[in-house]
Amino acid sequence: MGVLDECYNVGIENGVSVGSVAIEDAVRVLLLGLGEDINREGLRKTPLRVAKALRDGTRGYHQNVKDIVSGALFPESGLESCVGSAGGAGGLVIVRDLDLFSYCESCLLPFQVKCHVGYIPSGQRVVGLSKLSRVAEVFAKRLQDPQRLANEICAALQHSIRPTGVAVVLQCSHIHFPNFQTALFDPNHQGCVKLSVMSGSGAFDDEKASIWTDFLGLLRFRGLTAEDAHSRGSLDKSWCPSRTICKMAASDPSLLAAVSSILYALGEDPLREDLVDTPARFVNWLMNFKNSNVDMKLNGFVRGSKRETSLTPPRDFSHICSELNLPFWSQCEHHLLPFHGVVHIGYYSSSRVISNVGKSLLQSVVQFYGFKLQVQERLTRQVAEVASSILGEDVIVVVEASHTCMISRGIEKLGSSTATIAVLGRFSTDPTARAKFLQIIPSSA
């Protein structure tokens, strides 16, 4: 079966997708493995939401290119009396900056793609420009790795519109989620891995052909050069951060089986070479958020630290102290997708500088509450409540975050972010104090 016809079917029983039911059952097994109560309010519909998100994010398995391109080829003559190429006979056409989102086949986390597609028309006909985007999305909405995604887009366009040549360049960004120890003790942790790949056919088959110079020249303002893009066959499979883990902890067989059933329900073969270790990688990552009495550990930590620090001297209501850009990493309990960002904490104190021990303690508080199934509103409140027990009752907390569930599904708006605020004590009644602290927060947070 070729790239034009490749399509997977999932059975329907009583109006309900069999695949969706299997995914929901698997998610319940994973939640139980995390030590969660699957009947608590915030998690009750999580299996349904996860199944819906995964089915939508892999809908490309149920689409084929022929249905998209059919009827979208239009006659367009080339140059009539000049030497050169243009129009429907040799003129390079490029669609740039297509924002796509795909699921990494190595770890099942979404990765972002900036896609640039070009082709050289032939036969005095051109394809509707929107179809280039739609064809690219068919293959992005599957479990993928960057190079295969570029190759499949390129091959599908070459076979469907029969141009002189097709070129595809992808700029990919994969979240690099740390474990708890790395998040707490490595302030320089890089939050994402970036990679550019390219693929070409026809006139673009030779990577040294001059037409590539024209194509990349039209991408120069994207900061991309031929040296930046990996050519076909040169991609290091370890681009996914999960593949860099030297040794993964032994996983519960029931959890591995649950992830394998998800792969099967999506239309994939769990025994395919590139997917064999995916269940173990996903479970290894998910266990970062296992519910293990974090609150009890944190309460003891805070009590012990308060005896060692003097962070609550007599308050000076003329001076607002702040601790800004405390990084955090968390997991959305509604879709089991990561979100991350920074926390800003403000408080009143007669001391203008918080001690190193105090700063470390606040960062620990942020990470303790981050590394669990969360929603941003709850995280903000919890940090504020604990911070007030350390810094005094007058506390303001602002959390700014980027949610994978917002950019890889739903609105699919790259660069969108959320902000939440919690105010205690004087900050809850004094708008001037709130405004003064909010002005302190850097715009680049």
Helix (H, G, I), strand (E, B) or coil at 242: helix
Q: What is the pLDDT of residue 159?
A: 93
- Over range 27-39, report the average pLDDT: 95
Helix H or strand E segment including 380: helix 376-391
Encoded tokens for 11: 């059975």
Q: Which residues pair with 95 in a beta bridge?
A: 117
Condensed to tens digits (0 to 9), the pLDDT of residues 179-215 reads 777 766 666 777 789 999 999 999 999 988 899 999 9
Encoded tokens for 18: 């069999």
- Residue owning tokens 């790949």: 197
| Percent of the chain predicted with pLDDT > 70 | 77
Q: Among 3.90.1150.10, 3.40.720.10, 3.30.1130.10, 3.30.70.580, what is the CATH number of 58-230?
A: 3.30.1130.10
- Angle between helical axes of 253-265 and 18-33 (0-180°, round to 10): 160
Instruction: Indicate the range of 153-162, 184-193, 412-421 predicted with least confidence.
Output: 184-193
Q: What is the pLDDT of residue 16?
A: 46
**Could you give the residue ranges of the DSSP H alpha helices within 287-346?**
294-308
* Beta pairing, strands 192-202 & 229-230: parallel
DSSP E strands in 404-440: the ranges are: 418-424
**What's the pTM value of the predicted model, to 2 decimals?**
0.85
Domain boundaries, the chain: 1-57+246-287, 58-230, 290-440
pLDDT score of 17 more than 70 = no
Encoded tokens for 119: 């082709």
Q: Among 3.30.1130.10, 3.30.70.2860, 3.40.50.1100, 3.90.1150.10, what is the CATH number of 290-440?
A: 3.30.1130.10
Encoded tokens for 225: 């050069």
Residue 74: band (very low, low, confident or very high) from pLDDT cuts 50, 70, 90: confident
Residue among 138, 151, 149 nearest 111 (CA) = 149
- Quote the CA–CA distance of 372 and 416 in Å, as a whole number: 23
CB 349 within 8 A of CB 385: no
Condensed to tens digits (0 to 9), the pLDDT of residues 35-72 reads 999 999 999 999 999 999 999 999 999 998 888 888 78
| Percent of the chain predicted with pLDDT > 90 | 57
CB 380 within 8 A of CB 330: no
Q: What is the pLDDT of residue 38?
A: 95
pLDDT score of 282 more than 70 = yes
pLDDT score of 288 more than 60 = yes
CB 153 within 8 A of CB 136: yes
Condensed to tens digits (0 to 9), the pLDDT of residues 324-351 reads 999 999 999 999 999 999 999 999 975 5
Q: What is the pLDDT of residue 242?
A: 86
Residue among 68, 132, 66 nearest 94 (CA) = 132
Sequence letter at residue 312: T
Q: Does the fold of domain 290-440 match that of domain 58-230?
A: yes
pLDDT score of 102 more than 50 = yes
**Residue 224 dihedral angles phi and psi, to the nearest 5°:** -120, 135
DSSP state of 425: G
User: Between 394 and 234, where is the model more confident?
Assistant: 394
Residue 107: band (very low, low, confident or very high) from pLDDT cuts 50, 70, 90: very high
